[in-house]
Amino acid sequence: MLTLDELIIGLVLMTPFLLIPTAVGWWRGHPRLGALFALNTLGLVFFGIGWILALIWAATEPERSTRHQ
């Protein structure tokens, strides 16, 4: 059984890894960073599928809109 101290240490050590898709999106200037963060965070609840999708979404080239040009 994990103690509270072990749980806290584990969460502190895992948080940077779990937020990699959001960090990649921020670094690349992703236009939908808020949605990316939501998918990243909520995706962890659903067996990591959302985390993988968020990582792929963050790593792809953001679409360039011709509407604002």
Tens digits of per-residue pLDDT, 17-65?
889 999 999 999 999 999 999 999 888 777 778 889 999 999 987 666 5
Contacts of 25 (CB under 8 A, 6+ apart): 32, 33, 36, 37, 54, 57, 58
Q: What is the pTM of this model?
A: 0.72
The two three-digit tokens of residue 49, written as one number: 């599928």
The reported pLDDT for the residue numbered 12 is 92
Task: Return the domain boundaries, the chain.
Answer: 19-59
DSSP 8-state symbol, 69: -
**Banded model confidence at residue 68, pLDDT cuts 50, 70, 90:** very low
